[in-house]
Structure 1
Amino acid sequence: MSQLRATRTGLLVGTVICIFIFLYLRNPPPEEPEEPTYPVVVECGFYPDELCSALFEGKGAAPQIAKFCKNPHRSEILAHLHTPGNCSRISQGLHFITRPLSAEEGNFSLAYIITVHKELAMFVQLLRAIYVPENVYCIHVDEKAPKKYKSAVQTLVNCFENIFISSKRKKVIYAGFTRLQADINCMKDLVYSKYHWNYVINLCGQDFPIKTNKEIIHYIKSKWNGKNITPGVSQPPNIKSKISQSHSECTPEGNIYVPPNKRFKDEAPHNLTLYSGSAYFVLTRKFVEFVLTDTRAKDLLQWSADIHSPEQHYWVTLNRLKDAPGATPNAGGEGNVRAIKWRNEEGNGHDGCKGRYVHDACVYGLGDLPWIIRSPSLFANKFEPSADPLVVTCLERRHRLRALRQAEVPAEPHWHFPQRGRFDMKLNG
């Protein structure tokens, strides 16, 4: 009897909780609710496209619903990488595209430089989003990354001929010279590799593509054919004073810069006019070869070794030289390479960060998804799936669906992500 009474009580409590969740999701309060205190979590499986579509459309109830979901992708990805085995099983289990999706893409190869140090699952999601077999990928794994992280990346890289780890690796420090050096090291490897490529694009582990491989190629061909993309402008006075001062990049933690000291640098070598711009670029192969061999480029690199954020002036300055291959001497901030929500542009360039700001750049939240997919940029930055995993998961699903719709070859079964999970709630808001 007592056991029957306990069973009835348990069923009653469970029913009350379910009703509460249903009413809460159907009628969310107008303001951001406090986190629930009851121990109820919905297992979303591989998130249905319905939930992701609602987030992209900015439907009111979607972010609240997403908060109840566990993310299965991290454990799925890590299980493959920490259990080395048959490479075909790894590539298929991780849903890598294994054939060119069109003749146009097969005849226009891109090279990628990716610098990573954390968020292993995010790295795999980024890599499989931009991966096609006709491209080539140089991965710079930060020397300060854990051994297990390095081992897992190596396991993945070993399964693909066109992916390799940089032959020289640095302990990358934020805003220090090593960030620039990591790109240079990968460029050397790419130039001397056996692979032909037309353009190189650099990424970090917190980037994710908004455009498909075909769309990126169309953008380059239509607006920048034979030209480099390095958005930037002449140095404003406040930036010039920062760059002209030298600093030490060594700290007890080993991963952040030290503010500039009072010793001023000499003028840039060869009377170069310095420009300020993005650390991220889309460069022609001929320009990369120029950077690695030209005396002015070498001297500017050496001069940049002890200044704040040299990557923000190096590429854009060299691309303004009239005799540099693919140069754009009169370009300004043109070039839709990165979509970033900067704190100082809130209310003007964007509608505010729905996640949180880190170093004055938005780490995206679920509410930023509509803004991201409307952006004309090729990539968006920055993401932290450990904080909000559904943001990248939904972008990845959308990206894959677009790529397969644009494909001119039949899709292999493993190219598709699972379409449904255990979460089937209809969204009306």
Structure 2
Amino acid sequence: MAMTRGQFEGRSSGCLRKYRIFLVFFITILCIQVYLAYTFITLENDNLDSSGELGLSKYDKNDGQLKLSKQLKLPPDKVVNNKLNNHVNQNKTSRIKLDYNLLNFTPICDVTGKEAVSAITRAKSQICKELIVNVTCMGLQGTLYPKRLYSSCPHSMGFNKNPKKIGCYQDDKTHRMLTGFYTVLKSNNSPEQCALLCLQYGYPYAGTEYSVECFCGVEEPSQTKRLLDSSCNMKCSGDPRQSCGGYLAINIFKTGIKSFKAQEARNISTKIAHEKPARIAFLLTVNGRASRQVKRLLSVLYDPSHFYYIHVDARQDYMYREMLEIEKSCRYGNIKVAKGPGLRHASIWGGASLLTTLLSSARKMLEYSKNWDFLVNLSESDFPIKSNKQLVEFLTLNKGFNFVKSYGREVQRFISKQGLDKSFVECEARMWRLGDRKLPQGIQIDGGSDWIALNRNFIEYVSNPKPDELVSGLLKVFKYTLLPAESFFHTVLRNSIYCDTYIDNNLHVTNWKRKLGCKCQYKAIVDWCGCSPNDFKISDINKIRNTIDKNLFFARKFEPIIDQRIINYIEEYLYPMKFNNINRANSKNSYWQSLYHHGDLSPPVDDVLLTITNSLVRIIYSKYYHLNNNNYNFKLLEASVYFSDNKYQGILILAEASNKIIESSTIYDNNVNYYPERLEALVLSPRNFSTSKLWSNRILNLHVSTDYDQKEQTFRNFLSCVGPLSSPILSYEFDLSFVTPKNLTIFWIDTNNYLRDVNQIQVDETTLIGSIKPQLDEPLTIGKWNIFILADNVLIGQVNFFVTPLSFLNNHEINIKKIRDIHNGPINQKKLINNNNQKWINFLKTIGINLNENYDNNSNNIIEERTGDELNNWIDEFVKKYYKIDKICIANEFINNNVFKKLNLDKCTQTNWSSLSPDPKADINNICYT
């Protein structure tokens, strides 16, 4: 029977209605699959660099799944994106236009990289700008770095043209054949490129798969997974003439290196009795002003059979003079200080100049002494944790080996975290980040710590004025590298004839507390977020004790201004007889560190410190010689910080005056033969904070100063001086009983009673110690400032500080023009009150704090331009309010006893607080005579 059209349509409609659920389900599944496929392709493409490399992606060894890492360090001009999908854009440098009006020269190429343009724009001098441009252009032209280097390690020389093919193997999505590293080379995958990449990361096996994928691993593939070569038939994305695996089929090659295994140090030998003891050349690279700690380190390390070479940063006049005195005092001539053209360098954290310092110092040490076996580098922050005898015995057993500490994890992760894939230039005491670069192929990259113990033969090899191709090539690479000393020696060791002398131990234990030490504290001098170890404190003593059975002989970092107790503990444990002499001198728990010395030309001293210390000199002499005015020529000799019982005690001011000044004193007596010109005073700077009764036990400290160290959670400005051009910071510390989280509001009120800023912080048991930096207009208003702290609209604490006028600017006496510029408060005195400020002002009225709301006019309409004696008197008024002269002693070496009686003063060398009192801990006068 024929079926009519209506019957057919009715049956079709019924069929659709019957199966519509299945149809909807099928379409839904299809859409989900399409979406997931699109998402995967997008995610993969988003993470490709310009050459198609996903540099930080890898397969996790535990589950074989793709695990993505994100770059942890960015330059100051970069914005951090925390979204997971935007985890990496490695080697994808943004392009922007350089403003050529900033330059007084014609660039040799067109600079468009965002990081290079940012560096050029921020650099101040034309010399630095031109250096950045030239290095950037050489990098773009491919003439800055060698493209390929060759290893001379006998068993890990790599390959010359093509890697040796092993075969085609079955792969698995969840259990990969090669599990060390994975990347997608979208446009340039080939057996050679993949093998070179794996070789660079230290993997003995490389594998190409699915045309664009590159895998690296350490395990030889199982023959049970072997496939016919025809199963790996997909063309390589970088060379269609070659095959790069297939779907779950992988071509595996040898990279020509062996899986790296560091040597084990020897601890026992039957030959030790007949072995000549190892001689050590200690290289001390020192900086700063902690000369007493350097002397203490030398006194502990010293032995006539060893050699000591001291490199002082070229900008540190004070430390240089102190070290020269040590050199002069040593009759054996085995302590030498770097001096002369090309031997003193100015280095910064992360700077390329540090590698230059190490190599030039090593060459000089080879010239000075022919007898040493090992070079060990130390700083003023290092201290031994085992005796000299133990160190010599250990190195005697391990002659010929080299001690360096490796990063210890995936090389590709180290390269990214360390910034080795970026070019940097050092100028203007800063490391400028220029953009991406490719490291030389054909060698393994390695790195870790820049503290080393290297044998003489290797030192001669790396410091040779005419290095071989490997060393010369790596010197070119590390000339423009961040933290070069942390990778150069490691990489040379891995790829040279000395590859079998590598021991993964730099003999150091380091106090890493990364939550505190990784706060980008060096971003003011480096376009990178670096980490730095913390100082050891007495609470960390177990970390030292736990090294007793390990081949660790030094620890870092130590700073007596942070905690001297742990240094005392270690020295007393190592050398109890010597430490008894320190105890008898009653200076065991005392420490002095210079802040200023009149002989210094570099670095420049802080102008506020110079202003206040000179004011203190005037006050000291006026008070104790009863002078009627300050129109006299006093001279500030030195300012020091003084600690006792591990606590800050005050500032020491050492000064002198002429006899003419003393003779004009109202206490001068012609019958007294001699009056002292030199005095030293202990000056106290009280902490000016108060709390409410309910919070008296919960707030341990509130303090305002500058130069706050977030890592050690303390101020480095010991004088707590604040000037009109300073950036004050409030630090706080709450008691451990603080459990309930509190929202605190902080009000900054200037001397004219204006509200200058409001900050809000949350404090709980995890944030009991911290700091807050306000956004204040410069120059700051001169005078007394108040800070009010409220919790739940209740006043809980108050702290005040003084902004002092300046008598010095750029270390010279300030002139009238600059006085007008910086002594009259913020330029924008007519600052408008926004709604939030007005709300806070109205609220503060309710708790009895009345502020000045008239921002349209200055409080007194007087232009401040005091100079000379009038300016000095004004400054002295502030200093007298904030600082207290506690003690004074006579600093002259020879003095009439009648003077002591008349002035009622002690001789400085006979006190326990003066910087001139005995300090056996830092006494090196006799070390070269024992």
Larger deviation, residues 337-346 vs 374-383: 337-346
Contact 2:276/2:396 (<8 A) preserved: no
- Distance between the aligned counterparts of 2:478 and 2:501, measured in 1? 21
Q: Specify whether residues 421 and 166 from structure 1 end up closer, same or farther in structure 2 by C-alpha distance, changes over 3 A only.
A: closer
Moved beyond 6 Å, runs of 4+:
103-106
Does the residue aligned with 1:319 lie in a helix, a strand or coil? helix
* 1:12-45 alpha-carbon deviations (Å, 9 max, x no partner): xxxxxxxxxxxxxxxxxxxxxxxxxxxxxxxxxx
Question: Corresponding residue for 1:382?
Answer: 557
Is the counterpart of residue 248 in structure 1 residue 425 in structure 2?
A: yes
Contact 1:138/1:190 (<8 A) preserved: yes
Contact 2:512/2:533 (<8 A) preserved: yes
Is the counterpart of residue 283 in structure 1 residue 454 in structure 2?
A: yes
Question: Corresponding residue for 1:340?
Answer: 510
Question: Corresponding residue for 2:345?
Answer: 170
Q: Specify whether residues 247 and 323 from structure 1 end up closer, same or farther in structure 2 by C-alpha distance, changes over 3 A only.
A: same
Using the TM superposition, give the Cα deviation of residue 205 of structure 1 relative to its aligned residue in structure 2, in angstroms: 1.2
Question: Corresponding residue for 1:123?
Answer: 294
1:303-322 to structure 2, matched below 5 A, reads: 303-322=477-496
- Distance between the aligned counterparts of 1:112 and 1:219, measured in 2? 16
Using the TM superposition, give the Cα deviation of residue 309 of structure 1 relative to its aligned residue in structure 2, in angstroms: 0.6
Does the residue aligned with 2:434 lie in a helix, a strand or coil? coil
Instruction: Give the structure with higher Rg (CA).
Output: 2
Question: Corresponding residue for 1:407?
Answer: none
- Distance between the aligned counterparts of 1:209 and 1:137, measured in 2? 15
Larger deviation, residues 361-370 vs 197-206: 361-370
Does the residue aligned with 1:370 lie in a helix, a strand or coil? helix
Name which of 116, 120, 144 aligns with 2:315: 144
Contact 1:287/1:326 (<8 A) preserved: no
Q: Which amino acid aligns with 1:196?
A: N
Is the counterpart of residue 227 in structure 1 residue 401 in structure 2?
A: yes
Q: Which amino acid aligns with 2:476?
A: Q
- Distance between the aligned counterparts of 1:155 and 1:105, measured in 2? 36
Q: Percent identity?
A: 21
Question: Corresponding residue for 2:540?
Answer: 368
What is the TM-score of this pair, normalised by structure 2?
Answer: 0.29
* 1:380-418 alpha-carbon deviations (Å, 9 max, x no partner): 0101112222222332232223xx7xxxxxxxxx89633
Question: Corresponding residue for 2:919?
Answer: none
- Distance between the aligned counterparts of 2:420 and 2:462, measured in 1? 21
- Distance between the aligned counterparts of 2:280 and 2:360, measured in 1? 17
- Distance between the aligned counterparts of 2:460 and 2:507, measured in 1? 21
Using the TM superposition, give the Cα deviation of residue 421 of structure 1 relative to its aligned residue in structure 2, in angstroms: 6.0
Name the Cα RMSD after superposition. Answer: 2.9
Q: Specify whether residues 245 and 383 from structure 1 end up closer, same or farther in structure 2 by C-alpha distance, changes over 3 A only.
A: same
Contact 1:290/1:325 (<8 A) preserved: no
- Distance between the aligned counterparts of 2:379 and 2:405, measured in 1? 17
Structure 1, unaligned runs of 5 or more: 1-102, 347-357, 405-413, 425-429
* 1:82-120 alpha-carbon deviations (Å, 9 max, x no partner): xxxxxxxxxxxxxxxxxxxxx999842100111001211
Using the TM superposition, give the Cα deviation of residue 300 of structure 1 relative to its aligned residue in structure 2, in angstroms: 0.9
Q: Which amino acid aligns with 2:542?
A: P
* 1:260-289 alpha-carbon deviations (Å, 9 max, x no partner): 332x23423x73211022111111111111
Contact 1:207/1:379 (<8 A) preserved: yes
Contact 2:538/2:565 (<8 A) preserved: yes
Contact 1:235/1:276 (<8 A) preserved: no
Does the residue aligned with 1:361 lie in a helix, a strand or coil? coil
Structure ranking higher in strand proportion: 2
Larger deviation, residues 131-140 vs 292-301: 292-301
- Distance between the aligned counterparts of 2:324 and 2:587, measured in 1? 35
Does the residue aligned with 2:545 lie in a helix, a strand or coil? helix
Q: Which amino acid aligns with 2:471?
A: A
What is the TM-score of this pair, normalised by structure 1?
Answer: 0.61
- Distance between the aligned counterparts of 2:300 and 2:399, measured in 1? 24
Q: Which amino acid aligns with 1:275?
A: D
Using the TM superposition, give the Cα deviation of residue 343 of structure 1 relative to its aligned residue in structure 2, in angstroms: 2.5
* 1:270-326 alpha-carbon deviations (Å, 9 max, x no partner): 732110221111111111111123312232122201111111111111111351286
Does the residue aligned with 1:248 lie in a helix, a strand or coil? strand
* 1:150-182 alpha-carbon deviations (Å, 9 max, x no partner): 111101111220011124010011111111111
Contact 1:166/1:185 (<8 A) preserved: no
Contact 1:287/1:325 (<8 A) preserved: no
Using the TM superposition, give the Cα deviation of residue 371 of structure 1 relative to its aligned residue in structure 2, in angstroms: 1.9
- Distance between the aligned counterparts of 1:104 and 1:415, measured in 2? 33
- Distance between the aligned counterparts of 1:312 and 1:134, measured in 2? 29
Q: Which amino acid aligns with 2:513?
A: R
Structure ranking higher in helix proportion: 1
- Distance between the aligned counterparts of 2:462 and 2:306, measured in 1? 21
Is the counterpart of residue 179 in structure 1 residue 347 in structure 2?
A: no
Contact 2:507/2:554 (<8 A) preserved: yes
Name which of 314, 320, 327 aligns with 2:501: 327
Does the residue aligned with 1:298 lie in a helix, a strand or coil? helix
Does the residue aligned with 1:226 lie in a helix, a strand or coil? coil
- Distance between the aligned counterparts of 1:366 and 1:291, measured in 2? 39
Q: Which amino acid aligns with 1:297?
A: V
- Distance between the aligned counterparts of 2:396 and 2:385, measured in 1? 18
Question: Corresponding residue for 2:566?
Answer: 391
Does the residue aligned with 1:137 lie in a helix, a strand or coil? strand
Using the TM superposition, give the Cα deviation of residue 142 of structure 1 relative to its aligned residue in structure 2, in angstroms: 0.3
Contact 1:230/1:319 (<8 A) preserved: no
Contact 1:111/1:201 (<8 A) preserved: yes
- Distance between the aligned counterparts of 1:369 and 1:106, measured in 2? 34
Name which of 434, 449, 465 aligns with 1:261: 434
